[in-house]
Amino acid sequence: MKKLEGIEPAAVLSHFEEICSIPHGSRDTKRISDYLKAFADSLGLRCIQDELNNIIIFKSGSPGRENEEPVILQGHMDMVCEKEADSDIDFSTDGLRLIVDNGILSADGTTLGGDDGIALAYCMAILESDSISHPPLEVIFTVDEEIGMEGAHALDTTPLKGKRLINLDSEEEGHLLAGCAGGALGVLRIPYDTVPAEKDSLPIKLQISGLLGGHSGTEIDKGRANANTLMGRLLYLLNKEFPISLVKISGGTKDNAIPRECTAIITLNSNCLNDSFTQTVNKLGRIFKSEFSVTDPELSVNVEFLTDYKADFAISEKHSKRIISALLLTPNGVQSMCQDFPDLVETSLNLGIVNTVAGEVTMSYCLRSSVDTKKGELMFKLECLAIQLKASLSFSGNYPAWQYKKDSPLRNTMISVFKQLYGNSPIVESMHAGVECGLFESKIDGLDTISIGPDMKDVHTPNESLDLESVKRTWDYLLNVLEAL
């Protein structure tokens, strides 16, 4: 028996469970794209699948509504693949293990992919139904939204006729998203030279773990610790007391997820090793844990002496200090708040990934701002940091902010439907996290756009959850909106 069998809306959740069985991480969307193409073909619907695996499916209006103005429904195929350290899931081959507990859906030890698998499921249920009232539909499923909205960037929108778009990538029921930050991805590459490890050096593993992490848009203002920048601080403070050499460092797996873990391998001459080293690490661990006792109560700093690990080389002292300085000096987190909406983050960045490859340490960032010139200022800061570090810097996936419109007939209709259903008004807002609406508005003149979705929590983390009652209410709301348009 399937986990979601018998839970309403069954038409939606049956598709969602099937989606969860198909690997669909970013840059691994061929299988889910082919699945959606086969689904459209089985219904006899016109479908376009482009070279990147983006999908557009067309469906005529329900009887009597064939000649109305089309509506675009849109979501993205890829999910952020994060898992607990002890999870044996292989995201490239395995489906997710779903858990239902008191009306809350999650996955065992991994992200759930409700962001944005639920959008696919909603749309599939509408496309296969013969009883739902709707105008002509143009359904867009994009790829690689989570790594810079690459699918939306490349999508050819000329086949589309609709001027109203409902994006299904929001995470709070009862909220109509009407604007969001723009963003970009940045990669800083710090080259290094190596030297032979000292004969009497001992390899040591330092690990920061147990952090809560989270979405770098929706949780960036929560004050949660970033494992990568915290490791920079740990290494800097240790280097002030001990002649350590850096061998390698790695932390985080997604630039748009606040990193929960970071690991560094260092060496220290055995003649300099005594109880004070472990005592210093433990002392710093207690300080970090105290500082983040509210946001990251499970934070842990561990040291392990690697008697079975042989480090033949270490990064030179000059370049070790340069890398450690980069981690300590880098801008990270909230940079400024919106002047018009004091509770809304205006500009931020997240150092999501640090990795050591042959001859360089890479630092990967997700930048966001609702003001394009402020995003540019943040890019300039990283450029200056790169110059001082003698490093290289590149940007990709630059997408515009989605500006709030004072006049939106689509928003007015959706507010009216919400009031009729629930007797009160929805919350209309802008947000700091990025959705693809701004890109579509830049491609389609006169496009009117709103984003909605059911309640989800802790997306981009293994704690991600989806409220099933909220899924049903949002489904009912979406169907009433389609009837009213």
Tokens of 250: 């790695």
Alpha-carbon distances, residue 282 vs 102, 198, 462 (angstroms): 40, 25, 27
Q: Cα–Cα distance between 173 and 456 in angstroms, integer? A: 9
Q: Cα–Cα distance between 33 and 379 in angstroms, integer? A: 34
For residues 295 and 226, is the Cβ–Cβ distance under 8 A?
Answer: no
Tokens of 245: 């050499």
**Residue 102 burial (C-beta neighbours within 10 Å; 0-12, 13-18, 19+):** exposed
Tally of CB atoms within 10 A around 293: 10
Distance of CA 327 to the CA centre of its chain: 21
Q: At what angle do helices 114-128 and 30-42 cross, to 10 degrees?
A: 10
Q: Is 407 considered catalytic here? A: no
For residues 187 and 471, is the Cβ–Cβ distance under 8 A?
Answer: no
The one catalytic residue among 17, 28, 78, 261: 78
Taking Cα atoms as reference points, which of 377, 390, 439 lies closest to residue 180? 439
Q: Is 145 considered catalytic here? A: yes
The one catalytic residue among 82, 138, 145, 467: 145
Q: Cα–Cα distance between 253 and 270 in angstroms, integer? A: 33
SS3 for 40?
helix
For residues 330 and 348, is the Cβ–Cβ distance under 8 A?
Answer: no
Taking Cα atoms as reference points, which of 458, 53, 467, 396 lies closest to residue 216? 458
Taking Cα atoms as reference points, which of 22, 257, 8, 29 lies closest to residue 142? 29
Tell me which residues are annotated as active site: 78, 145
